[in-house]
Amino acid sequence: MRTLYFITSNKGKFLEAKEKLLPLGFSVVQKDLGYPEVQAESLEDVALQGITHVRMGFHEPFMLEDAGLFIEALHGFPGVYSKYVFFTIGLPGILRLLSGVKERKAIFRSVYAYSEPRKKPIIVFGECKGIISMKKQGTHGFGYDPIFIPDCAEKTFGEMTVEEKNQFSHRAKALEKLINVLKDSK
Ligand code: ITT
């Protein structure tokens, strides 16, 4: 069994990865080491700078993930600022910004970055298209889940079980890609 550290403060992300990677012979261990989420222009830059920072003090294989919500009518806001915006104006603030706006398309994006000592990091992407609902619906999940309805679904992520969300989610798609790369590299 190979040990793979997941550098994250988010328990939900960890549990999802653990379940998916166990059958492939990876024992995933959560490490909440924290890394500076620098003000960057892309999720990939945030993830790569996270890798560089963690690598300085940690010498085992690890992965980390960065995600964000990009709203078309707001020119991609909150995007790389999703965490800050969630803890400041929050869901009511986003709904206010979109009040009276009919075009409510949005995309969740996820970037997984995987690092092994002395090797180039592996970067994979996943996205999930959908719309911002008119009001908060559901209490499951975290972050923007109660206001995001993925395409081909009738309800928000906040109204879905983890298994249902995983059928659509940006993070599950990115993780699938990472798993395929890791499988090939075994
Ligand atoms: P890390 O320690 O792994 O960074 P985090 O919870 O801070 O965990 P991110 O920086 O990747 O996660 O995510 C930034 C914000 O984007 C997060 O605080 C949520 O508000 C939002 N977000 C990301 N993925 C989401 C999802 O699947 N559903 C709802 N909101 C999400």
Distance 144 CA to ligand 1 centre (A): 9
**Continuous segment of H or E residues that includes residue 176:** helix 170-184
Mutate to test the pocket of ligand 1, among 39, 51, 83 (most ligand atoms within 8 A of CB): 83
Per-residue pLDDT of the chain (186 residues; tens, 9 = 90+): 888 999 999 988 888 788 888 887 889 999 998 777 777 789 999 999 999 999 999 999 999 999 999 999 999 999 999 999 999 999 999 999 999 999 999 999 999 999 998 899 999 999 999 999 999 999 998 899 999 999 999 999 999 998 899 889 999 999 999 988 888 776
Ligand 1 centroid to Cα of residue 57, in Å, is 24
User: Long-range contacts: 52-55, Cβ < 8 Å, 24+?
Assistant: 54/7, 54/115, 55/115, 55/117
In the prediction, which pLDDT does 33 show? 87
Architecture of domain 2-184: Alpha-Beta Complex (3.90)
pLDDT of res. 185: 74
- Alpha-carbon distance of 3 to 61, in angstroms, equals 8
Give the mutation target among 9, 46, 69 for probing the ligand 1 site: most ligand atoms within 8 A of CB: 69
Rounded to two decimals, the pTM is 0.92
Does the active-site annotation cover 32? Answer: no
Whose Cα sits closest to atom 8 in ligand 1?
10
Residue 186: the pLDDT is 61
